[in-house]
Amino acid sequence: MKDKKYVIFLVALIALYVVSEMRKSGQVNWSSTYHEEHKIPFGAFAMHDLMSDMFDQAPPKSEYKTLYELAVEDSTMGNPLIIADGVAMDNNDFNALMRHIDLGGTALISARNIQGPLADSLGFIVRMEDAELAYDFRAIQEALSGELEETITLNLTDNETKEFSYSTIATTSYFSQIEKENFDVLAVNATNSPVLISYKGMKGSLYVSTIPLVFTNYFILGEETSQFAAAMLSLFPEDELVVHNEYYQLGRREVQSPLRVILSNPSLKWAFFILLFTVFIFMFFESKRRQRIIPLITPLKNMSVEFVETLGRLYYRQKDHRKLAVKRVQYWKDYVRVHFNLKTDHFGDRFNTDLSSKSGQPLKSIEALMELVKRIEEGAVISEDELIKLEKGLNGFYGIE
């Protein structure tokens, strides 16, 4: 009965997990990762496809190290593309970025929140409004289900101006303050606040944007919302390598051991924990049910026969045949009482018949033996020949040849 309870509990647990997974399968993951392999709405799989078409001479790649580390390692930094919810470089990263710009490189940074030396040294402040649109999944769905309300005006050249319409969720951040002598404003939102600015270095250019969501799958795959991201990506030289630096959003890419892969996937992690729990329950109750090893105890040896033989030899050496015969008869009577359940206080024909029937000995042999027994119990003198005859009769009764 107890086993059934545990089975029912385990089945209920698995059923609960299956139901929760079925409910999850219908839910959309609105997390913003900007990751090249993610096909969720706010991943960057579509952007990498777009860049592969735009920069076919130098296909883009992703890195998961800081700009300083890439510069120190003397690896190909390429032209950095940084897309993140927030960017807070330290002095080493900022100096590596500015050296790259001064040497003629190009960089594009797009984030809803930018702090640290990058903002302080270049002189700008980023402000975010309607923060719930950035982190509240329900608010995100409601905002995206409405009409495209926010207009972004892009001016890449003096003679060409383009307008793009976006949901307000994509334009929650803007530059509230910039050092005008350091930057050119390339794009503004509906309230005329800058959302894309450019900084000219000694030989290269740095572009800073506050609307990273326009680079995600959701907006790039939309016919009306893909052109602004393409326009910003076109700021990179076509024949130079563009490196999508994902460190500032995802951190370092750790070694993907099998266990780490399992634990990083919610479904696999739950399945792994259920498996461990099941194994634990099985081992716990199986160990209780399994019988402990019973120690082997050697039974005490019956020394009665050896004792009687020793005692018989003792009396035989003393030539006291009668005492020895009496002891042998007493032992025999005890044997009859125990093994055949017969009373030995009175002998007669009925006794002889019952003993013959139960022992399997011929009636004549029983009668001959009983004659000797009666003679011994009557107190007659026993000779050595009679003692030997008694011994042979008893051995025949016991089945000893």
- For the chain, domains (ranges, CATH) are 27-259 (3.40.50), 303-398 (no CATH)
Tracing tokens 């076919």 back to the chain, one arrives at 56
The answer to whether residue 15 scores a pLDDT higher than 70 is no
Rounded average pLDDT over 182-208: 92
Rounded average pLDDT over 308-333: 75
Rounded average pLDDT over 168-190: 88
- What distance in Å separates the CA atoms of residue 112 and residue 310, rounded to the nearest whole number? 108
Between these two residues, 153 and 234, which has the higher pLDDT value?
A: 234
The answer to whether residue 326 scores a pLDDT higher than 90 is no
- What distance in Å separates the CA atoms of residue 269 and residue 276, rounded to the nearest whole number? 11
Confidence label for 331 from pLDDT (cuts 50, 70 and 90): confident
pTM exceeds cut of 0.95 = no
- What distance in Å separates the CA atoms of residue 391 and residue 395, rounded to the nearest whole number? 6
Give me the sign of the Cα torsion angle 105, 111, 114, 119: positive
For the stretch 195-221, what's the b/e string if a residue is b when 16 or more beta carbons lie within 10 angstroms of its beta carbon?
Answer: bbbbbebeebbbbbbbbbbbbbbbbbe
Q: Are 156 and 173 in contact (CB under 8 A)?
A: no
Burial of 379 (0-12, 13-18, 19+ CB in 10 A): exposed
